Amino acid sequence: MSGGSNAVLDLSALSLRDVNAALQEAEAGRFTVLNPGGAHALACGLQHPVEVTVTGHAGYYCAGMNKAASVTVEGNASTGVAENMMSGIVRVKGNVSQSAGATAHGGLLVIEGDASARCGISLKGAEIVVGGSVGHMSAFMAQAGALVVCGDAGEALGDSIYEARLYVRGSVASLGADCIEKEMRDEHRVQVAGLLARAGIEAAASDFRRYGSARQLYNFKIDNAY
């Protein structure tokens, strides 16, 4: 490991525990993680505005519980990237597996490639921009925040959704329970344009359609009990 504000952490020479400890203890600075080799739970629980670049593929729960840090994965990431993120920004330059951004409360998750099933499941306020497509059950039970999909969406998009905003440029295989297409107003186009700009993805906000809750599942209905 080299010192100073641009530290290099090599997972071929250091343990995952040591790498994560160095990242978690730092209050500032830039770090490059070499030879990640699909390691699980890499760069998790970061509490300070450090900048981390992972030069390869990451395993499960990369950048989980992120707070304030900026984490870039120069490859693919497996299940649960940026899970329960609170703030900061996580960027994956490749594709991600299922449950990307699960339960995330804040911050921005950018996926330049495709995302698998359940992207944004139980989203609680974070914003997710996907340059490609998302798989089935994306935004399942999403409560708040936004999901912008530049490609297509799989089956059951937004199933049992609450108040999150979903924007899709491509086709939607099917909508989940209580999810409907909604009017795309100026405020929504402004939101999409702003998120695309922050994500560094070129697309016209006018090409997107908006989906959200029909608000039919908020109250118990006796007819649904039989």
Tens of pLDDT along 25-63?
999 999 999 999 999 999 999 999 999 999 999 999 999
Q: What sign results for the dihedral spanned by CA atoms 16, 17, 20, 26? A: negative
Burial of 45 (0-12, 13-18, 19+ CB in 10 A): middle
The dihedral built from the CA positions of residue 128, 134, 135 and 137, taken in this order, carries a sign that is positive
Determine the pLDDT at residue 155.
Answer: 98
* pLDDT over 90 percentage in the chain: 92
Residue 187, phi then psi, degrees to nearest 5: -60, -35
Residue 216, pLDDT score: 87
Mean pLDDT value across residues 196-213:
97
Q: What is the mean pLDDT of residues 101-124?
A: 98
The whole-chain average pLDDT of the chain stands at: 95
Looking at CATH, the fold of the domain delimited by 6-225 is given as: Pectate Lyase C-like (2.160.20)
State residue 34 phi and psi, 5-degree precision.
-95, 155
Our measurement of the distance from residue 15's CA atom to the centroid of its chain's CA atoms, rounded to an integer in Å, reads 27
Neighbour-count burial of 106, counting CB atoms closer than 10 A to its CB (0-12 exposed, 13-18 middle, 19+ buried): middle
Cα 202–Cα 205–Cα 209 angle in degrees, nearest 5: 125
| 1 — pLDDT class (breaks 50, 70, 90) | very low
- Kindly indicate the confidence band of residue 217, based on its pLDDT and cuts at 50, 70 and 90: confident
Break the chain into its structural domains and give their ranges: 6-225
Instruction: Read off the pLDDT band of 4 (50, 70, 90).
Output: very low
For 77-87, what is the mean pLDDT? 98
